[in-house]
Structure 1
Amino acid sequence: MKQAILVMGHGEQSTILQKTIDILDDKDIDFFIHWDKKYRQPDIRAKHSAICFVSPRLNIVWGTDTQIKGEILLLKEAYKSLQNYKMFHLISAVDMPLMDVSYFKKFFNGNRSYLGFDNNSSTVANRVRYYYPFSNINFRAHPLWTKIVILTNRFLQVDRWKKYKETSIYKGPNWFSLNREDVSKVLEANLNKFFHSYCADEVFIQTLLPQLNNHNHQSNDNFAALRYIDWNRGQPYLFQMSDVEELRKVKNTEYAFARKISTPRLIDKVFNE
Structure 2
Amino acid sequence: LKVDREKKSQLKYYYGSQWVSIDQELVDYLINNKKLILSNLMRTNISDELFVQTVVWNNNYFKNKVYKFKENYENSNLRYINWNLGRPYTWESKNYDLLKDAIHSGFLFSRKFDSSIDNKVILKLINKR
Range class of TM-score, shorter chain: 0.5 to 0.7
2:13 matched to 1:169? yes
Of the structure 1 ranges 226-235 and 180-189, higher mean CA displacement relative to structure 2 is found in 180-189
The corresponding residue for 2:73 is 221
**What CA distance in whole angstroms lies between the structure 2 residues aligned with 1:187 and 1:263?**
41
**What CA distance in whole angstroms lies between the structure 1 residues aligned with 2:68 and 2:125?**
29
Q: Which amino acid aligns with 2:52?
A: I
Q: Give the structure with the higher percent helix.
A: 2
The corresponding residue for 1:206 is 53
Distance 1:172 1:271, change over 3 A: same
**What CA distance in whole angstroms lies between the structure 1 residues aligned with 2:76 and 2:84?**
17
2:96 matched to 1:244? yes
Q: Which amino acid aligns with 1:176?
A: S
The corresponding residue for 1:257 is 109
- Tell me, yes or no, if the aligned pair for 1:172 and 1:221 is still in contact at 8 Å: no
TM-score (norm 1): 0.33
Distance 1:222 1:182, change over 3 A: farther
1:87-114 CA deviation, whole Å, 9 max, x = no partner? xxxxxxxxxxxxxxxxxxxxxxxxxxxx
The corresponding residue for 1:182 is 29
2:111 matched to 1:267? no
Identity %: 24
1:226 deviates by: 2.6
Listed as ranges, the gaps of 5+ residues in structure 1 are 1-157
3-state SS of 1:269 partner: helix
1:205 deviates by: 0.9
Q: Give the structure with the higher percent strand.
A: 1
TM-score (norm 2): 0.59
1:253 deviates by: 3.5
- Tell me, yes or no, if the aligned pair for 1:171 and 1:207 is still in contact at 8 Å: yes
Which one scores higher on RCO, CA 8 angstroms, separation ≥ 6?
Answer: 1
Instruction: Provide the aligned length of Structure 1 versus Structure 2.
Output: 112
